[in-house]
């Protein structure tokens, strides 16, 4: 099944929740600025940051202005973790389509947002699209333990670029949503906070309330495992400590739907030529812009480092002169 008549994409919201990523966040932002070809609002939620992530982000966006960035919206939170931080950003979104990225995802494809939202715009029954993985789930032999199957995932090389794969649930990575359905659902259910099974619960609620589906579709991005992080804070349960609790909540809520529907196994072909890219030059789309983004980040980083070195040298000279004058 394919569609060549998608709804137009005139603007979108991009939401990123950020926690202590001062080293990587300029590269994340460079990937968005250099590869987004549609007017967009950038919503940054700084969640419990104790480093220079916010200051560096604001300076980078000030130094690298692009005409397609309509609005920069910044919010802060006190270490509420990704689920609640995402909800803060989602509630600030106003456009018809919304994409959420994690703070360790670097986009490497020109026109990525048009490709990524294409299933939402081409098919009326699609609510959410992941570029990481989609799969079916059922309860395992152990109480509360999930059993995943029918994977369509980048990591397993089972997600062809020309295929939109539909399954029961999706996994967090870059995710694109229809914002109207997201609002009706009341966003991610914070009973699952600080995280785990929240996006799975969201898409299954869309299924049984509105008959909507979800799936996975390939875009080019990089997210090294070494870029991720874990955190704990006094009085806050870590996401890993809530897996069993959230699994029980998830299956108690959706067991009837999962049992009745079984696994969903549907593939829809989306040809490259059908996607309404602003530019169709494959070299420009996949190579030149990627190099441009890398160079842009590199020169910004070098100039920023040079300014820091000069400032440090000035402070050292100032202290040295004070010592010399003090001895005199």
CATH code given to domain 12-327: 3.90.550.10
Write the pLDDT tens digit of every residue in 183-205. 999 999 999 998 889 999 999 99
Comparing CA positions, the residue from 185, 17, 180, 223 lying closest to residue 100 is 17
Residue 52 token pair: 């220079």
pLDDT given for residue 122 in this prediction: 97
Confidence of residue 309 (pLDDT cuts 50, 70, 90): confident
Confidence of residue 142 (pLDDT cuts 50, 70, 90): low
Rg of the Cα atoms in the chain: 22
Residue 239 token pair: 């996401």
Confidence of residue 240 (pLDDT cuts 50, 70, 90): low
Percent of the residues in the chain that have a pLDDT greater than 70, as a whole number: 83
Which DSSP state fits 19?
Answer: S
Q: Is 1 exposed, middle or buried (0-12, 13-18, 19+ CB in 10 A)?
A: exposed
pLDDT given for residue 279 in this prediction: 64
Write the pLDDT tens digit of every residue in 57-99. 999 999 998 899 999 999 999 999 999 999 999 999 999 999 9
Write the pLDDT tens digit of every residue in 199-223. 999 999 999 999 999 999 999 999 9
Residue 198 token pair: 């929240």
Detail the DSSP E strand segments found in 168-272: 169-171, 175-178, 213-216, 221-222, 266-269
What's the whole-model pTM score? Answer: 0.82
Answer whether residue 110 shows pLDDT above 80.
Answer: yes
Q: Concatenated DSSP letters for 119-134? A: HHHH-TTEEEEESSEE
Report the range of poorest mean pLDDT among 31-35, 149-153, 157-161, 300-304. 300-304
Confidence of residue 323 (pLDDT cuts 50, 70, 90): confident
**Better pLDDT: 49 or 158:** 49
């Amino acid at each position: 099944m394919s569609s060549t008549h998608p709804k137009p994409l005139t603007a979108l919201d991009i939401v990123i929740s950020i926690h202590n990523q001062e080293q990587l966040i300029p590269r994340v932002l460079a990937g968005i600025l250099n590869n987004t070809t549609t007017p967009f609002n950038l919503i940054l939620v700084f969640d419990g940051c104790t480093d220079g992530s916010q200051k560096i982000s604001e300076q980078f966006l000030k130094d690298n202005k692009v005409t397609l960035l309509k609005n920069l919206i910044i919010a802060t939170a006190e270490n509420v973790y990704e689920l609640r931080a995402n909800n803060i950003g989602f509630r600030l979104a106003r456009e018809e389509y919304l994409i959420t990225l994690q703070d360790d995802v670097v986009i490497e494809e020109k026109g990525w947002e048009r490709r990524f939202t294409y299933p939402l715009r081409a098919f009326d029954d699609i609510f959410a699209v992941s570029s990481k993985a989609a799969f079916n789930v059922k309860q395992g032999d152990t109480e509360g333990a999930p059993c995943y199957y029918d994977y369509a995932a980048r990591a397993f090389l089972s997600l062809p670029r020309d295929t939109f794969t539909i399954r029961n649930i999706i996994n967090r990575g870059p995710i694109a949503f229809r914002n109207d359905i997201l609002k009706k659902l009341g966003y991610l259910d914070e009973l699952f906070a600080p995280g785990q099974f929240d996006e799975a619960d969201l898409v299954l609620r869309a299924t049984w309330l509105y008959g909507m589906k979800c799936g996975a579709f390939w875009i080019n991005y990089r997210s090294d495992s070494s870029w991720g992080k874990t955190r704990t804070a006094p009085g806050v349960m870590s996401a890993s400590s809530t897996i069993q609790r959230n699994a029980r909540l998830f299956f108690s809520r959706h067991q009837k739907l999962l049992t009745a529907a079984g696994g969903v196994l549907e593939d829809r072909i989306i040809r490259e030529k059908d996607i309404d890219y602003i530019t169709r030059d494959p070299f420009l789309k996949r190579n030149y812009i990627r190099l441009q983004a890398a160079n842009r980040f590199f020169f910004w980083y070098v100039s920023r480092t040079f300014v820091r070195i000069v400032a440090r040298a000035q402070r050292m000279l100032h202290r040295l002169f004070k010592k010399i004058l003090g001895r005199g």
